[in-house]
A and B are shown apart, each in its own frame.
Chain A
Amino acid sequence: MTFFTDAAAFLPVLLNGLQVSAILTLLSLLFGLPLAGVLAFGIMSKNRVARLIAIAIVEVGRGAPALVLLQLMYFGLPDVGITLSALASATVALTWTTAAYCAEYLRGGLSAVPAGEIEGSQALGMTTADTLRYIIIPQGWRIALPSLMGFAVILFQATSLAYTVTVQEMMSQAYSLGASTFKYLTVFVLAGLLYAVISIPATWLSVLLEKRMARHL
């Protein structure tokens, strides 16, 4: 059973990398989600300029592969005099991706609040700001929540691409272990299982949440 003895030797190194993967995921969510909220309102704004700017940021963030954004931030930005550390540039790139995707999920959630409830609020004489604050946002956010959780899983998986910009996350640890021991299959399978062990239950959780929401709303 060489797989298991090798795996036991590789595991601590990979878990170190996994910590970095988790940190990168959390940082991207921490900065990306508030930005997504701003962009969602930007997209729905009546102000043409605000709307176009928001749409441009969202479309580029969703249209360009995360891998390209990562490389742009790490290899490209130094050309214009901005040099960021590997982790910082990866955070900037994945924050952009997060903000762009989550802005669309939030917009979808906000616009899924039934028109009748908005009319109900208006007919009561509630102001637009109050309607947003008490009726649209609390419900829209809940409708978007399962998609946001689903995205968080995809984001966690996407951090594996940060190895291309020398972030010391799990994939980069796996790659150097592979290169030094030539046990590529073992180390990559082990890394894959570690990703799966986190991703699969997280996905179940988001599906469960979606079902519960569907029952209550």
Chain B
Amino acid sequence: MLLTVLAGIPLTISVTAVALVIGTIGSLPLLFGILSGNRLVWLIARGIIDLCRGIPIVVWMFILFYGVTIGGTKLSAFGAAVLGLGIVSAAYLAEIFRGAISSVAAGQYEAARALGMTPRAVWGDIVGPQAWRVAIPGYTTYGIGLLKDSSIASTIGVAEMVFRSNSYARTTGEGITVFLVAAAIYVIVSVPVGVLSRKADEKLSAVVAR
């Protein structure tokens, strides 16, 4: 039984990883869009982000899996799953990155520009590295969230952990243990991250509150 669940881990991980890559790449044009000074570009990027986040992941997957044919062929379940997760991730990640960039103090841009640095250097050497450091916790948390969301791929037949647990429960008629095991695996992965972020939060608030 345990093996049944564990056998789903490789697909759980690959769905998560591929979706994270798609989401990260997809977030970049959206990020430029919402940082743009051009109102039209901003509006379009804003609209895409809102729409991507406004539709539940399972709906995206169903649209892609059941509704979309490219050149007469349907997307595979895996393809629909990672694309669906990737679309939603791109929108969330763009927001995470935007938040990080806007957290870099305006004085940093001014100082860099006053030193005569090119825009490329301002972003690449000054703002980018600082923003990235700010974005890491949010990015990590989102990655763990994505691992959990990858379970939704089971609804279109990707044989990851939850799918296997579900079929085990259906064939044997015994559901409680297998789902507890599956839950435990997800919890084991996410607890260290939760504890770490709480620790970091406490440290930060201890510094800030004083």
Contacts and interface: CB of A to CB of B under 8 A. Distances in A.
A and B touch in the complex (CB under 8 A): yes
A72 B184 CA distance: 12
Given A60-B187, A157-B57, A188-B66, 5 more contacts: A67-B154, A79-B175, A188-B62, A192-B56, A192-B60
10 contacts: A59-B194, A65-B162, A67-B152, A79-B175, A111-B201, A161-B152, A175-B62, A192-B55, A195-B59, A200-B53
For this complex, into which size category does the number of interface residues on chain B fall?
Answer: 35 or more
Contacts of B54: 195-197, 199-200, 203
A154 to B, nearest CB: 9
Interface in B29-73: 50-51, 53-60, 62-63, 66-68
Contacts of B179: 68, 71-72, 75-76
Contacts of A60: 183, 187
A96 to B, nearest CB: 11
Contacts, number: 146
A63 B59 contact: no
A65 B162 CA distance: 10
Interface residues of A, number: 48
A195 B162 contact: no
A68 B194 contact: no
A184 B67 contact: yes
A112 interface: yes
A111 to B, nearest CB: 6
Interface of B: 50-51, 53-60, 62-63, 66-68, 148-149, 151-152, 154-155, 162, 165-166, 169-170, 174-180, 182-183, 186-191, 194, 201-202, 205, 209-210
Given A64-B183, A171-B59, A72 B175 contact: yes
B56 A68 contact: no
A71 B181 CA distance: 12
Interface string A83-122: 0000000000000000000000000100110111000000
Nearest to B193: A63
A18 interface: no
B55 A195 contact: yes
A77 B180 CA distance: 11
A189 interface: yes
Given A71-B166, A72-B179, A79-B175, A65 B186 contact: yes
Given A60-B183, A115-B209, A203-B54, A164 B62 contact: no
A12 to B, nearest CB: 19
B63 A189 contact: yes
A34 interface: no
Contacts of A191: 59
A195 B67 CA distance: 17
Contacts of B66: 178, 184-185, 188
A76 B169 CA distance: 8
